[in-house]
Amino acid sequence: MQDHLLHGVYTIAPTPFHEDGSLDEASLKTLTDFLYRVGVDGITILGVMGEAGKLTDTERDRVIAGVVEASAGRIPVCVGTSHAGTDGCVDYSRRARDLGASSLMVAPPKLARGTDEALRAHYLRVAEAVALPIVVQDHPASSGVFMSVNFIAAIADEAPSCRFLKLEEEPSPRKVTLVRKANPRVEIFGGLGGNMLLEELRHGAMGTMTGFAYPEILRDIRTRHFAGDADGAAEVFYRYCPLIRFENQPGIGLSIRKYVYRLRGAIASACPRAPYTPMDADTVADLNDLLTRLGLS
């Protein structure tokens, strides 16, 4: 199991589309090359902000195959394989494994009456079916499921491949502390666009798995933190907080992120796949002003 590859800063990569909404496979390569050059520790594809829910199964395969081929073994690829049903999740996970994924990201299925036992059965089935590290995604805002600290601590012991957690229940720093206290073996990635990265690291997270169009900034913060440069980590974090905050606006965050990735030459088009909320002219002006003030334009 390649769990030694799961550490640091994994960026949630957007899925590139052409202006007409069709999959832009050429940009899968330019985006992967770009992320490798800026130094992220891994790439996560087919997450919520990767518009996985807007892809057909055939397109999912094309995205996985395209990114894995472009990575050429230079950088690990984590694939989101969440599904409303356990059988579907197992099938997606096996397919991702066969296409070259180094790890999986799995959110809990939505249940009418969610229980720890039902979640346990789901994750154990996936772990038994696929011998890859599994990042348990704890993001109630998208899944509608609240994972207890006790469940997270227990599943990490019962299925060691599930000892990785993408923690996005707010307030995230507090839950990082509680999970680490309940089971120090749990390896925690922060998320939420990096909004609370500094605090998550201080509370015991080992990295972050999130989307942000300047992932090298998040990596710089983490590197400084683990080098013992607390002041340096804080200085970088507070300098770029305005951009992290701006990109995380509800409803248009993905459009903003893709706009910046296009500016940086990583993808050819900034268009998400319909339906989506486009950026208006005022938002574009505000963003360009912010990038200029931060010396990023």
Whether the predicted pLDDT of 112 surpasses 60: no
Query: Domain limits at 15?
Result: 3-240
**Mean pLDDT of all residues in 49-62:** 96
Structural domain contains residue 296: no
Number of domains in the chain: 1
Structural domain contains residue 280: no
Task: Let me know the angle formed at the C-alpha of 262 by 258 and 265, rounded to the nearest 5 degrees.
Answer: 140
Structural domain contains residue 185: yes
pLDDT in tens, 120-138: 999 999 999 999 999 999 9
Whether the predicted pLDDT of 113 surpasses 70: no
- Per annotation, catalytic residue among 29, 54, 110, 166: 166
Structural domain contains residue 158: yes
Structural domain contains residue 192: yes
- Cα 199 to chain center, whole Å? 18
Structural domain contains residue 276: no
pLDDT for 110: 83
pLDDT in tens, 171-227: 999 999 999 999 999 999 999 999 999 999 999 999 999 999 999 999 999 999 999
Structural domain contains residue 248: no
Q: Residue 150: how many CB atoms within 10 A of its CB?
A: 13
Whether the predicted pLDDT of 1 surpasses 80: no
Q: Residue 248: how many CB atoms within 10 A of its CB?
A: 18
Whether the predicted pLDDT of 2 surpasses 90: no
Q: What are the tokens at 31?
A: 């985006």
- Note if 166 is an active site residue: yes
pLDDT for 123: 97
Please report the DSSP string for 214-263 in residue order: -HHHHHHHHHHHHTT-HHHHHHHHHHHHHHHHHHT-TTTHHHHHHHHHHH
What phi, psi does 135 have (nearest 5°)? -90, 115
pLDDT in tens, 265-275: 999 999 999 99
pLDDT for 85: 94
Structural domain contains residue 256: no
pLDDT in tens, 73-87: 999 999 999 999 999
CATH of residue 226's domain is 3.20.20.70
